[in-house]
Amino acid sequence: MAKNGEITLYDDNGYPEAAAFTAPVAAGAGTTVIKESAGRLCRAVVTTAGTASDNAIIYDNPSAGSGTVLAVIPGGGEVGAIIVLDLPAENGVTAVNVASGPAFTVGYS
């Protein structure tokens, strides 16, 4: 056990259940590669609301906005909202945003 007494829990694939890293996703149209390999998507925190009808989509893909959808971050949400995702990503994590989409920060491991 570590001297500080902290314990890290791991999922069945060996990835920490708590976020080990963060990545910002900017408001507005664009594609953001968050993780280029398998891992775990933990949480998202909305930092700019965006427009209610414009959502950002997070995919299980190491480099493009296609494949299995892991999450949809709604536009027009409350700034500071924490979205618990708690999902494995078998291939990687990529977010695709639209012109009036929300800005958010993703926690992953």
34-80 residue pLDDT tens: 999 999 999 999 999 999 989 999 999 999 999 999 999 999 989 99
In this prediction, residue 12 carries a pLDDT of 72
Q: Looking at residue 5, what is its pLDDT?
A: 63
Question: CA 15 to CA 35: how far, in whole Å?
Answer: 13
Does residue 2 surpass a pLDDT of 60? no
The domains of the chain are located at 26-104
The pLDDT of residue 21 is 87
93, 32 contact by CB (below 8 A): no
Q: In the prediction, which pLDDT does 92 show?
A: 97
The more confident residue out of 13 and 105 is 105
**Between residues 65 and 18, the one the model is more confident about:** 65
Q: What is the pLDDT of residues 72-83, one digit of tens each?
A: 999 998 999 999
Spatial contact of 100 and 54, defined as CB atoms under 8 Å apart: yes
